[in-house]
Amino acid sequence: MAQITKDTVIGDILDIAPQTAPIFLSIGMHCLGCPSSRGETVEQACQVHGVDVDDLLAKLNADIA
């Protein structure tokens, strides 16, 4: 995976980089296995959970680097 963007689907991230799950859990996204959360984009998840998308992207991309 080259880089995670705001349009990247969370399910795709978890399939390719499952080690990122704790990052999502830390923002309150506790139902990573449910169909709706696995189909959400990073931006959608940030909107739902009140998280800054740029901060989350920085954490995710640092983790997969």
Domain extent listing, the chain: 10-64
Average pLDDT over residues 30-56: 87
1 pLDDT more than 70: no
The amino acid that residue 24 corresponds to is: F
Mean of pLDDT values over 32-52: 86
How far apart CA 3 and CA 26 sit, in angstroms, is 20
The pLDDT > 70 percentage for the chain reads 98
Topology classification of domain 10-64: SP0561-like (1.10.3910)
| The two three-digit tokens of residue 3, written as one number | 């880089």
Nearest to residue 52, comparing CAs of 14, 17, 10, 60?
60
Q: The pTM is what?
A: 0.86
What phi and psi, each to the nearest 5 degrees, are found at residue 9? -80, 135
